[in-house]
């Protein structure tokens, strides 16, 4: 039986530095000399054990994407972009295959409304000992209006989003096409931060694995709708078709 709740240790949570809101806090990921518990490295990319394991019955790791606080998936040169995503996906799948967890989640928070606490570009890979995230989703969440399809990788905008209003999905059927997935992730993040809505400074990127497919979901973040918070009713925008058209035009898709 899977558990439903993740238990959060508030005492550990209170010790965490919050560089995303407090710019004076020293960045723990820039201080590379003092990084402890390094699990793997590739060039400037480092996977470490999370120093603040706030989630009980989990194994929390942090994938530090670059040496400096500056930069984001939307601006990385292609080679670095491909390295970050293929390294992350490989480490995530390795943890899944270890059989030690009911499931492993892989995600990224960016910006003040994303729920993240540390500004430095990073992602998280977390092994869940008692929860299978697949119990909480429907395949419908990844269906949508197609923006582009290249090298067997699909980029769409959800017609049945998990939360709403806009959710972008990138669906990969063959692991050999990770670079195409990375290109679509970069375009989507760039679109979200620069062209989608002038007030958008935050997004989440989530990865899911099921049915021999890997899916990335990018959700631009704003204040969450009360209708979702109170009633779990997701909302979908009537602007979706217009967003598809705009996205295609800007990036020649």
Chain positions contacting Zn ion, by CB under 5 A: 27, 29-30, 69, 120
**Smallest distance, Zn ion to C-beta of residue 133, A:** 29
DSSP 8-state secondary structure symbol assigned to residue 162: S
**Smallest distance, Zn ion to C-beta of residue 120, A:** 3
State the Cα–Cα distance between residues 211 and 172, nearest whole angstrom: 11
Residue 119 structure tokens: 């500004």
DSSP 8-state secondary structure symbol assigned to residue 29: T
Q: Which is nearer to Zn ion, 60 or 66 (CB)?
A: 66
**Smallest distance, Zn ion to C-beta of residue 201, A:** 18
State the Cα–Cα distance between residues 157 and 145, nearest whole angstrom: 5
Q: Which is nearer to Zn ion, 19 or 169 (CB)?
A: 19
State the Cα–Cα distance between residues 192 and 190, nearest whole angstrom: 6
Q: Which is nearer to Zn ion, 65 or 209 (CB)?
A: 65
Q: Which is nearer to Zn ion, 28 or 144 (CB)?
A: 28
DSSP 8-state secondary structure symbol assigned to residue 198: T
**Smallest distance, Zn ion to C-beta of residue 27, A:** 3
Q: Which is nearer to Zn ion, 6 or 27 (CB)?
A: 27
Q: In what helix (H) or strand (E) does residue 158 lie, and over which residues does it extend?
A: strand 153-158
How buried is 100 (Cβ within 10 angstroms: 0-12 exposed, 13-18 middle, 19+ buried)? exposed
**Smallest distance, Zn ion to C-beta of residue 65, A:** 10
């Amino acid at each position: 039986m899977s558990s439903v709740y993740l238990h959060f240790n508030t005492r550990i949570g209170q010790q965490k530095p919050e560089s995303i809101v407090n710019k004076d806090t020293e960045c723990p990921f820039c201080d590379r000399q003092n990084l402890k518990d390094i699990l793997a490295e590739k060039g400037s990319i480092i996977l470490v054990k999370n120093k603040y394991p706030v989630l009980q019955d989990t194994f929390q790791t942090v994938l530090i994407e670059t040496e400096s606080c500056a930069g984001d998936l939307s601006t990385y040169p292609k080679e670095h972009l491909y390295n970050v995503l293929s390294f992350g996906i490989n480490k995530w799948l390795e943890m899944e295959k270890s059989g030690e967890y009911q499931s492993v989640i892989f995600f990224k928070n960016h910006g003040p409304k994303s729920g993240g606490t540390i500004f430095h570009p990073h992602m998280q890979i977390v092994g869940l000992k008692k929860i299978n995230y697949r119990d909480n989703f429907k395949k419908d969440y990844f269906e949508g209006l197609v923006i582009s399809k290249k090298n067997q990788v699909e980029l769409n905008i959800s017609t049945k989003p998990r939360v709403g209003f806009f959710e972008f999905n990138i669906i990969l059927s063959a692991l050999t096409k990770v670079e195409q997935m990375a290109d679509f992730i970069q375009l989507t993040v760039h679109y979200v931060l620069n062209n989608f809505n002038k007030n958008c400074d935050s997004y989440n990127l989530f990865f899911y694995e099921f049915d021999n497919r890997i899916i990335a979901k990018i959700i631009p973040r704003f204040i969450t709708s009360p209708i979702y918070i109170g009633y779990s009713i997701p909302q979908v925008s009537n602007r979706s078709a217009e967003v598809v058209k705009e996205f295609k035009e800007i990036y020649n898709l």
